Amino acid sequence: MTVAAVLAAYALIAAMLLPRLLVRAAWSERAPRLAICMWLAAGLSAVGSAVLAGLSAAIPGDAVGHGLARLFEACRMLLGDGSGVQVASATFRLAVLASGLITARAVYCVARVLLTARRERARHASMLAILGRRDGELDAVVLEYGEPVVYCLPGRQNKAVITTAALHALPPEHVAAVLAHERAHLRGRHHLVIALTEGLAGAFPWLPLFAVARREVARLVELRADDVAAGQHPRVHLAAALVGLATGRVPAFALGAAGENALVRVRRMLQPAAPLDRRERAVAVAATALFLAGPAVLAFAPGVAALVAHHCHALLPI
């Protein structure tokens, strides 16, 4: 029960306090891909800890050390067949129910976001097939529209879209830079990352970690796409394109070059910060790994210790 209590406490503390710490990480704009990984790891760590807390409370860790048969026997006793006590049975059922509900809610909400976005993108793709035209030179779909907009439609459609107003407003080199930004979204499958954070925020709306993660990850994927595009085109071209598209509004289910952070991104393009050094990157990678592996290590440590102790005891001469 001690391990379960620690895991539950960590899940609650992580969900409430981690966003304050991660938001203050000034290095995130210098390494947006790593920052995205850290936010995702923090969210999965909190959910995983809550689930593992219930399982740790239900199944004694030392049961693993005496073999799978003893584990099944412990579960049978906890379920209450007359040989166990009712308190243990109630604890087992409550813990398993809590873990199951947390898992089911997270999976359901993420799946709902994915399916809803997929249906909306499919409808939009059908509209583009009628109203848009494929431009092989641009490798994008050109849509007759009076507002300058550039965005991508991820998923099975996997296409970049640019309006005729954007083509008229931007010179060719700026168009190439902003389309590279959209293709970076497509190659990076950023829509899946955003769907995960949106799903978790919808599943646990009362926990700050997931609400802040949704906002920060949406910002960071744009920075990541900017960096990829800046590696292929001059930064000044992308910055100028962002200014030209600042007033454009993209569909909610798509990823667009412009947005509410466009002016901040323009300054970032024109005044790039130094990348992380080896020490800073190593610390960030270690923290991300700790988020992911820490709860599992803590949950399974008693079972592994019992397993090692059992086999060592069996190997010792009598």
Task: Identify the three-state secondary structure at position 269.
Answer: helix
Q: What percent of the chain has pLDDT above 90?
A: 52
The average pLDDT across 217-243 equals 93
CA separation for the pair 194, 121 (Å, rounded): 15
Model confidence at 315, pLDDT cuts 50, 70, 90, reads very low
pLDDT of residue 261: 73
The average pLDDT across 230-253 equals 85
pLDDT of residue 73: 54
More confident residue, 145 or 75: 145
Q: Cβ(148)–Cβ(170) under 8 Å?
A: yes
pLDDT at 257 over 90: no
CA separation for the pair 50, 10 (Å, rounded): 8
Task: Identify the three-state secondary structure at position 148.
Answer: coil
More confident residue, 282 or 76: 282
* Angle made by CA atoms 125, 134, 153, in degrees to the nearest 5: 35
The average pLDDT across 22-26 equals 87
Please report, for the chain, the start and end positions of each structural domain, with discontinuous segments joined by +: 2-315
pLDDT at 163 over 70: yes
CA separation for the pair 239, 156 (Å, rounded): 29
What region, left, alpha or beta, does residue 72 occupy, with left being phi > 0 and alpha being psi -120 to 50 degrees? alpha
This prediction has a pTM of 0.83
pLDDT at 117 over 60: yes
Model confidence at 101, pLDDT cuts 50, 70, 90, reads very high
More confident residue, 81 or 284: 284
Radius of gyration over every alpha carbon of the chain, rounded to an integer in angstroms: 25
Q: What percent of the chain has pLDDT above 70?
A: 81
Pairing of strands 159-163, 140-143: parallel
Please list the alpha-helical segments (H only) found in 132-171: 164-169
More confident residue, 69 or 267: 267
Model confidence at 140, pLDDT cuts 50, 70, 90, reads very high
Which residues fall within 8 angstroms of residue 112, CB to CB, at 6 or more apart?
A: 199, 202
Lowest-pLDDT choice from 27-31, 52-56, 82-86, 294-298: 82-86
CA separation for the pair 210, 55 (Å, rounded): 23
The average pLDDT across 130-146 equals 91
pLDDT tens for 141-157 read: 999 988 899 999 998 87
How distant is the alpha carbon of residue 133 from its chain centre? 34
